[in-house]
Amino acid sequence: MLWTVIILIIGFLAYQHFTGHVKTGYILIQDVYNQFELKKDLQKKYENSHSSRKRILDSLGADIRMLGQKIDAEKGKDTSDLGVFRRKRIYYYNNKQRLDQDDSAQMKQYDDQILSQLNQYVKDYGNENHYQYIFGNTAGSIMQADETLNLTAPITQYVNERYAGKK
């Protein structure tokens, strides 16, 4: 079923292309996405945020390890340290879980923002350049295509210029 649909789409596009009725092109989505300056900017922002939160968690982890070593050295004679150790360990694991959740939420938010902006810029490029179709190639969805229809480079340049405010 899927192959039938793909063959029909390719056949239709080939017919339209050779008869001159439809202006089409395709992009390698992953390449455009990875070279998009907004993606690079948000990735740096994410890494900075993650690093600062992770430093706090690492410090707490080091504190727990030192307290654990102290308890081991004293062979559990001071039971008050044992209670503090347990509370800090619970606090650590709760914060680690929160860090992981915050990281996931932030990554999803940034990814949504990147894809939304990228989709708008590609749509604008298509409208400005009179394309009826611009297809995205992901994981072999287009098995073969004429390289002259590959718009990856000009669209990458366009989206980065738009993002930089040059267009």
Q: Tell whether 122 is covered by a domain.
A: yes
10 within domain boundaries: no
pLDDT greater than 70 at residue 3: no
Q: Dihedral of the CA atoms 18, 21, 23, 26 (nearest 10)?
A: -60
Examine residue 115 and state whether it is found in any structural domain, yes or no: yes
Q: Give the CATH number, domain containing residue 104.
A: 3.30.910.20
Q: What angle do CA 101, 50, 120 make, to 5 degrees?
A: 80
- 33 is written with which tokens? 């996405």
Q: 119 in a domain, yes or no? A: yes
What is the reported pLDDT for 1?
57
**Structural domains in the chain (count):** 1
With respect to residue 4, please indicate whether it lies within any of the assigned structural domains.
no
Q: For 75-141, what is the HEC assignment?
A: CCCCHHHHHHHHHHHHHHHHHHHHHHHHHHHHHHHHHHHHHHHHHHHHHHHHHHCCCCEEEEECCCC
Considering the domain boundaries, does residue 11 fall inside one? no
Tell how strand 24-28 and strand 133-137 pair up.
Answer: parallel
Domain span at 79: 25-163
Q: Which residue has the higher pLDDT, 79 or 56?
A: 56
CA pair distance 59, 148, nearest whole angstrom: 55
- Residue 166 pLDDT greater than 60, yes or no: yes
- Looking at the domain assignment, is residue 153 inside a domain? yes
pLDDT tens-digit profile of 64-100? 999 888 888 887 676 778 888 899 999 999 999 999 9
* pTM summary value: 0.73
Res. 8: pLDDT tops 70:
no
Q: Is residue 59, in this structure, part of any structural domain at all? A: yes
| Residue range 96-153, pLDDT digits in tens | 999 999 999 999 999 999 999 999 999 999 999 999 999 888 766 777 788 889 999 9
